[in-house]
Amino acid sequence: MTTVRAILHRYPAVSPAIVLVVSVIVFGLINGRFLAPTNLSLITQQVAVIGALGIAETLVILTAGIDLSVGSAMVLSSIVIGNAATGMGMPGPVALLVGLAVGLATGVLNGLLVTRLNLPPFIVTLGTLSIFTALTLLVSSGATVQGDAMPSILTWTGLTVSVLGVDITYGVLITLLLYVVVSFALARTAWGRHVYAAGDDKEAARLTGIRVSGVLLSVYLVAGAIVGITAWIQIGRDFGASPNAATDANLSVITAVVIGGTSLFGGRGNVWGTLLGALIVGVFRNGLALAGLDVLYQTLAVGILVIVAVSIDQWIRKVRK
């Protein structure tokens, strides 16, 4: 048992990987349509947005913080893109850049409040969650911008290419690209090591000469950039920008990170675990729906998954204390 625990401690992505493989097999056996290319394509699309936001959330959680606002920041960015392109008549690429800038700004705001005012990230992002939601309603006046009213570049992320017989959207590919880039930065650059060190033990990191507040600010900045990019993926996925989109995204993202084995105490975990976590939630929701179960059972299953994942994290962390 202790060796199992030691392995899980060193490779926190192992347990979600096992859960994912087992659940895919089980759902495949329950319903033959689960493994059909069209259904697999659907799952990847359902997971793309939460998966991309999960990267931003993982970065923040690795620093022992939490971001309750990523979902609403993403919706705000998508609404800005939609309205800039239609109501204000900006060209597609410009509207996109404005949206990216808004995403970045949400990250900068969170980061400055956390590092300059020394407020707990939970409180900061609880506040900005409301602010971003209010701004979304202000900008959109509650109205959805339809995809066919937008320049085609904005909905490009919803187009598909066929990969091994499964239709994959460009949005999904962008999400995967983000995973590759961020996991590289975390594992192979000094910045990545400083992110882990800052989340692990802030005072130790400071004493070893790391500028902890600079690292934290950079993390929120990167998270903001990812939020902006995800807004583009979201517009393609929904073929439009709606103020009521992705209402449960804020919490689903944290769910994916936690199931993926990243510790809420900081300093432990990685983005691949989060991708697995997002896939597990997507597979459970999709598989249970195909099995004919009501949405309430999907929600129930996700709730149980979270509690099991956090219990496993606690157990793993007892390796040496």
Partner 1 sequence: MNTTIATATRTPVLAARRLVKTYGHVIGLDGVDLELYAGEVLAIIGDNGAGKTTLIKCLTGAEIPDEGELELDGKPVRFRRPQDAREAGIETVYQSLAVSPALDVAANMFLGREVRRSGALGSVLRMVDTKQMRARARAELTELGITTLQDVTVPIENLSGGQRQAVAVARAAAFGSKVVVLDEPTAALGVRESNQVLDLIKRLRDRGVPVILISHNMPHVFEVADRIHVQRLGKRAATITPQSHSMTDAVAIMTGAMKG
Query: Taking CB under 8 A as the rule, does residue 296 contact partner 1?
Result: no
- Nearer CB in complex with partner 1: 202/285: 202
Q: Which stretch binds partner 1 (CB under 8 A): 19-27, 31-39, 188-196, 282-290?
A: 188-196
Task: Candidates 64, 178, 197, 256: give the one binding partner 1 (CB under 8 A).
Answer: 197
The encoded tokens of residue 224 equal: 């903001």
Least distance from C-beta 262 to partner 1, angstroms?
12
Could you give the C-alpha distances from 46 to 39, 156, 169, 233, 284, in angstroms and in order?
A: 10, 16, 11, 11, 12
- Nearer CB in complex with partner 1: 33/211: 211
- Nearer CB in complex with partner 1: 152/208: 208
Site for partner 1 in 157-186 (CB under 8 A): 184-185
The encoded tokens of residue 299 equal: 């929600």
The encoded tokens of residue 41 equal: 């394509």
The encoded tokens of residue 307 equal: 């509690």
> DSSP class of residue 163?
E
Least distance from C-beta 294 to partner 1, angstroms?
41
Distance spanning both ends of the chain, measured CA to CA: 17
Q: State the Rg of the chain over Cα.
A: 19
Q: Which stretch binds partner 1 (CB under 8 A): 169-177, 198-206, 219-227, 251-259?
A: 198-206
Taking residues 6 to 45 in sequence order and writing x for each that binds partner 1 by CB under 8 A, - otherwise, the string is ----x-----------------------------------
- Give how many residues touch partner 1 by CB under 8 A: 26
Residue 212 CA to residue 229 CA, distance in Å, equals: 26
Residue 163 CA to residue 168 CA, distance in Å, equals: 6
Q: Which stretch binds partner 1 (CB under 8 A): 141-149, 205-213, 237-245, 246-254?
A: 205-213
Site for partner 1 in 209-268 (CB under 8 A): 209-211, 267-268
DSSP helix/strand/coil, 12: coil
Q: Which stretch binds partner 1 (CB under 8 A): 75-83, 200-208, 271-279, 306-314?
A: 200-208
Task: Candidates 205, 249, 254, 309: give the one binding partner 1 (CB under 8 A).
Answer: 205
Task: Candidates 2, 207, 292, 296: give the one binding partner 1 (CB under 8 A).
Answer: 207
Residue 105 CA to residue 234 CA, distance in Å, equals: 18
Helix 295-316 and helix 14-30, axial crossing angle in degrees, nearest 10: 150
Convert 193-238 into a string of H (helix), E (strand) and C (coil).
HHHHHHHHCHHHHHHCCCCHHHHHHHHHHHHHHHHHHHHHHHHHHH
Q: Which residues contact partner 1 by CB under 8 A?
A: 10, 184-185, 188-191, 193-194, 196-197, 200-201, 203-211, 267-268, 319-320
